[in-house]
Amino acid sequence: MFKRSFVLVSLFVVVSFLTLGQQATVDAKALQLNAITTAMPFLSINPDSRSGGLGDAGTALSPNANSLYWNTAGICFSKNKLEVGGSVVPWLRQLTNDINLYYIAGYSKINDRNAFAFSVRQFTLGEITYTDQNGLVLRPDKPSEQEVAVGYSLKLTDRYSLGVNGKFAYSNLTGGLITAGAQTKAGIAGAADISFMYQNTDINLGGKPGEFRFGATVNNVGNKISYSTTSSSDFLPMNIKLGGSYTTKMDNYNSLTVTMDLQKLLVPTPPIYDKQGKMIAGKNNNVGVISGIFQSFSDAPGTPIYLSNGSPDLNSDGTAKIVKGSRFKEEISEITISGGLEYNYNKVFAVRGGYFHESKNKGGRQFFTFGAGLKYNIMQIDMSYIVTLQRNSPLANTLRFSLLFTIKSNQN
C-alpha cells in the first residue's frame, strides 16, 4: 500500500510541475487573451482561510467544517463527529469597500461510515446606483447572490470515500431593471458536485510516520442561466479539481503538510471571430451543459496566423490557419495550479504559505498567500492574506477570516 501511495504522490507532483512548466512556455510566447467567463462566479470564491493560506489548494486536505466547499467525500474521515464554522471574506478591496462573502458551514457524522453537511453562502455586492442613458438617477440597489448546499459523505472502505452535494443558487444583480427595452431578471440555478477521497494514514517515509490524501471533485454541474428575457444563457463555473497532500509527523509535536491542486473549468472556450463576426477558429460555445463539459477538453481555438495587413490567413473552408501547437498549449493553459506548505505545532498553532498560478491568457491571477491558525479548546481561528504579483490587481491584500467550533469530538 505504501508503494501505491508513493507512486500516486510522485505521479501527481510530476504532472503538476510539467503543467506549470508548459504554462511558463505558454506565457512566454504570449498566446492571445481568451479568458473563459461564467455566470455566478461567486460560487468559485474560496471561503476557507486554511486553504486560502495554502494558495487556494484544499481538495486533499484533512477535513473540517468547510470541506463541503472543497471535498465532501473527505468528511467521513474526520476525527470529530460535529463541527460548525463561519467565514468572512472582504472581496476586491482594491476596488471598493462594501463587497463581502459570508459563509456558514458544518457537518455531522451519523456513524463511522456516513456524514451529512450543509452550507449557506451570501455574497453582497455593495450599493449600486442605476442611471439611464442620460445619466439621470433611476434608483439605488444592493445586489446580492446566495447559495444553499447540502452534502452526503460515504466511506466505502477504510481508505476510500465518495461524496455528493446538491445546491441551489440565486443571483439578483439588477433588481428587475429594464435596460435597452429588455426586462432583466434574477438568475436561478440548481447544481451538483461529486467528490472522491483516498486516504492512507499508515505511511512511514524516511523513518517518520505520515499521511497521504488524494482527492478529485467535479463541481457546479447545473443549468445555464440568463439575466434578461433577451440575452443568451451562460454556464455556471463548472470545474474539475485534482489534489494531493502529504503530512509528515516530525515528532510528537511538530508536523509539516505539503499540498497541491490542479483545476480546470468544464466550460467551453470562446471561439475567435473576424471583424465581420464570422467564426474563424474554435468551436461554437453555445451548446448544452453536457456537451459543453466534454467540449471543454478539446475546443481551444489556438492562435490564428495573420497576414501583414492584419487579416487572418484563411484556409479554403474559411477557417483561420493556426500556429502549430498553439491549440494544445491553450488547452494546457486552462489548468490552474496551486499549492502550499503548512507547519503545525502540537495541533494548536499553524503557519502557512502558498502560491496560485493562472496562465496570463486565461486571466493571469498569480499570487502568493500567507496564513496562520490558532486552536484553543473547541475553537479554531484561521486567517489568510494574498500578495499579488501584478500591480493594481483587484485581489491584492485580500484577507479571509474563519472561525471553527468542534461541537462533538470522538472523545466525547
Q: Does 398 map to a domain?
A: no
Q: Does 400 map to a domain?
A: no
Assess whether pLDDT exceeds 60 at residue 2: no
Q: Does 386 map to a domain?
A: no
* Closest-CA residue to 52 (of 331, 400, 408, 389): 400
Cell for 56?
487556494
pLDDT at residue 228, rounded to an integer: 81
| Better-scored residue on pLDDT, 177 or 248 | 248
Q: 292, 285 in Cβ contact below 8 A? A: yes
Domain range for 95 is: 2-269+334-346+353-376
pLDDT at residue 66, rounded to an integer: 95
Assess whether pLDDT exceeds 80 at residue 7: no
pLDDT at residue 407, rounded to an integer: 86
Q: Does 392 map to a domain?
A: no
Does an H or E element contain 2, and which? helix 2-28
* Closest-CA residue to 61 (of 49, 74, 45, 79): 74
What is the share, in percent, of the chain residues with pLDDT greater than 70? 90
Q: Does 288 map to a domain?
A: no
pLDDT at residue 4, rounded to an integer: 54
Assess whether pLDDT exceeds 70 at residue 24: no
152-171 pLDDT, tens per residue? 999 999 999 999 999 999 99
CA distance 355 to 367: 6
Cβ-based neighbours of 229, under 8 Å, separated by 6 or more: 182, 183, 184, 185
Assess whether pLDDT exceeds 90 at residue 173: no
Cell for 185?
431578471
| Confidence label for 12 from pLDDT (cuts 50, 70 and 90) | low
CA distance 71 to 153: 9
| Better-scored residue on pLDDT, 286 or 4 | 286
50-74 pLDDT, tens per residue? 999 999 999 999 999 999 999 999 9
Report the mean per-residue pLDDT for the chain.
89
Range ranked top by mean pLDDT from 149-153, 207-211, 357-361: 149-153
Cβ-based neighbours of 379, under 8 Å, separated by 6 or more: 403, 404, 405, 406
SS3 per-residue string spanning the chain: CHHHHHHHHHHHHHHHHHHHHHHHHHHHCCCCCCCCCCCCHHHHCCCCHHHHCCCCCCCCCCCCCCHHHHCHHHHHHCCEEEEEEEEEEECCCCCCCCCEEEEEEEEEECCCCEEEEEEEEEEECCCEEEECCCCCEEEEECCEEEEEEEEEEEECCCCEEEEEEEEEEEEECCCCCEECCEEECCEEEEEEEEEEEEEEEEEEECCEEEEEEEEEEEEEEECCECCECCCCCECCCCEEEEEEEEEEECCCCEEEEEEEEEEEECCCCCCEECCCCCEEECCCCCCCHHHHHHHCCCCCCCCECECCCCCECECCCCCECECCCHHHHHHHHCEEEEEEEEEEECCCEEEEEEEEECCHHHCCCEEEEEEEEEEECCEEEEEEEEEECCCCCCCCCCEEEEEEEEEEECCC
| Better-scored residue on pLDDT, 20 or 177 | 177
Assess whether pLDDT exceeds 80 at residue 409: no
249-308 pLDDT, tens per residue? 999 999 999 999 999 999 999 999 988 889 999 999 999 999 999 999 999 999 999 898
φ, ψ for residue 362, nearest 5 deg: -120, 15
* Closest-CA residue to 54 (of 340, 260, 258): 340
Cell for 201?
494514514
Alpha-carbon distances, residue 151 vs 37, 68, 81, 85, 154 (angstroms): 27, 7, 15, 16, 10
Q: Does 286 map to a domain?
A: no
Cell for 36?
473563459
| Lowest mean pLDDT, pick from 29-43, 103-117, 286-300, 395-409 | 29-43
The CATH number given to whatever domain includes residue 157 is 2.40.160
* Closest-CA residue to 289 (of 234, 329, 326): 234
Q: Does 242 map to a domain?
A: yes
How many structural domains is the chain composed of? 1
Q: % helix / strand / coil in the chain, to the nearest 5? A: 15, 45, 40
295-343 pLDDT, tens per residue? 999 999 999 998 988 889 999 988 999 999 899 999 999 999 999 999 9
Q: Does 94 map to a domain?
A: yes
Mean pLDDT calculated for residue range 5-28: 54
| Lowest mean pLDDT, pick from 136-140, 252-256, 367-371 | 136-140
pLDDT at residue 334, rounded to an integer: 95
Q: 175, 195 in Cβ contact below 8 A? A: no
Q: 395, 386 in Cβ contact below 8 A? A: yes
Does an H or E element contain 83, and which? strand 80-90
Residue with cell string 487572418: 312
79-119 pLDDT, tens per residue? 999 999 999 999 988 888 889 999 999 999 999 999 999 99
Residue with cell string 494548536: 348
